[in-house]
Amino acid sequence: MRPRVMTVYGTRPEAIKVAPLVAAIDASDVLEGTTVVTGQHREMLDQVNEVFGIVPDHDLDVMSHGQSLSHLFARVLERLDPVLESVRPDAVVVQGDTSTSTAAALAAFHRRIPVVHLEAGLRSGDLHSPFPEEANRRLTSRLAALHLAPTAGSRENLLTEGVPATDVVVTGNTVIDALLDVVARPVSFRDAEVSRAVDGDGDLLLVTAHRRESWGEGMRGIGRALATLATRRPDLTIVLPAHRNPQVRAAVLPAVEGLANVLVVEPLAYAEFAHLTHRSTVVLTDSGGVQEEAPSLGKPVLVMRENTERPEAVTAGTVRLVGTDPDRIVAEVDRLLSDREAYASMARATNPYGDGHAAVRGVAAIEHLLGVGTRRPDLGG
């Protein structure tokens, strides 16, 4: 009987990053796969599953309106445990740094099931930023039996914390596998204004903002920066897929209301967002995953945070931290749009996050963990 590997995920970023691994598990000659979604992001999660043809075997449907992080965590534990008892997997894969990933890792640990942590070893150095992600990823590392680290830097973080070297594999990031797959496919944009912007030939600034630690004045600063850029540069198109959190919208959107060259749209399906990133001139974001995706497409990334758990791209020169001060955001965007040499130095920097084969390395490591295969060499090894 082939070992069974259960993959548990709940948010859109998790779904994107586990999709290549789920496909590689299904393609394995020696493993059986089971997928469980928690529904931490409902609509956006379903969209990504549809793009990659994933039909979950179990849906825990944990979300309820206004619930706290603790309530969410408790519901994942409560609803996943009977599934673990019924399926009895030989390993459980979790991804990244969400409440879903840490709660699922703890549920598996309670049943003495080995935990595989995909995208392991990321660290910002500040337990409270990003919040609660930094704490989640550190907690998950303490529970994992196998750490699939995206970069050599992530591996070093784990070794520094005492994780045995034999338990860490540098795979690259599966987000690159997913991105390269999706941008090679054609896409149709549901929003006509976005479609026209993509088909145009002017500069396009893609903006995403949602970080909890920036709620309030930080988000208001982002809104003021976008308004200044739009006013100064009427030929610049700014596309802002607005996060659905009411606090984010209330802080950012009033500043850009009525500006014709700011397109405020609903969150885009993953394939649309990937193609919009490909078309953009500069990406302004506070997202973690976008810091990995955009450099793979040759796009300079300005990160509206004071620190990042993904320092490799900063070191490589394709990502720059700009915080949420509106004057600094405006100055950095202006610099890239006005200075061709500065733009080229970021756009041509080497992306450190992988070669599109992370999932293959990850599955080989899981097969080795379960005694049915051998590891592949680490990325860059």
Any catalytic annotation for residue 243?
yes
Which backbone phi and psi does 153 adopt, to 5 degrees?
Answer: -65, -40
Kindly list the distances between the CA atom of residue 325 and the CA atoms of 155, 214, 305, in Å, as whole numbers in the listed order: 32, 11, 10
Which of 90, 119, 177, 332 does the annotation list as catalytic?
A: 119
Partnered with residue 32 across adjacent β-strands are: 4
Any catalytic annotation for residue 119?
yes
DSSP state of 156: H
Say if CB 251 and CB 219 are below 8 A apart.
Answer: yes
Counting beta carbons within 10 angstroms of the beta carbon of residue 179, is it exposed (0 to 12), middle (13 to 18) or buried (19 or more)? buried
Any catalytic annotation for residue 58?
no
Any catalytic annotation for residue 133?
yes
Listed residue (112, 6, 4, 111) closest to 58, CA to CA:
6
Which of 212, 279, 328, 335 does the annotation list as catalytic?
A: 212
- 115, amino acid identity: V
Say if CB 122 and CB 294 are below 8 A apart.
Answer: no
Query: Which residues, including other chains, have CB under 8 Å from residue 100's CB and lie 6 or more apart?
Result: 8, 9, 10, 11, 14, 38, 40, 76, 94
Name the token pair of 202: 């002017």
Which of 90, 133, 272, 309 does the annotation list as catalytic?
A: 133
**Which residues are the active-site residues?**
97, 119, 133, 210, 212, 243
